[in-house]
Amino acid sequence: MDETFDLLEYQQKARELLCPKKLFFLWEDVCRRYDRNEIGEYEFEEMKAVIWPTLKTLSSLRRIIDGSDQPPKKRLRRRA
């Protein structure tokens, strides 16, 4: 059975996680709990306010590190 939802513990966990994959799994857990009416809209919105900014920041950093934030390089045409 799932552990009891404690908003403060979940918020702390979300603030400490720096792995986008783990943070996304935490968000999925929150969504599942909300869909099952295990948590209310207040808890859902509070978790959203903690998780989404961090996910956006981490995904931006990943794009920068991967170089996908840069425009594609143009190919030079060879003259015959």
* Residue-wise pLDDT tens digits, 6-55: 999 999 999 998 888 899 899 999 999 999 999 999 999 999 999 999 88
Nearby residues of 31 by Cβ (< 8 Å), 6 or more positions away: 44
Q: Indicate whether this model's pTM tops 0.95.
A: no
Assigned domain for 67 exists: no
**Residue environment code for 6-26, b if the CB has 16+ CB neighbours within 10 A, otherwise e:** eeeebbebbeebeebeebeeb
Q: Which domain holds residue 35?
A: 7-11+20-62
Residue 46's pLDDT is 97
Reading the block at residue 46, the tokens are 């509070």
Domain count, the chain: 1
35 domain-assigned: yes
Q: Supply the pLDDT for residue 71.
A: 56
In a domain, 27, yes or no: yes
Nearest-5° Cα angle at 4, 24 to 37: 75
Is residue 80 assigned to a domain? no
pLDDT band at 1 (very low <50, low <70, confident <90, very high): very low
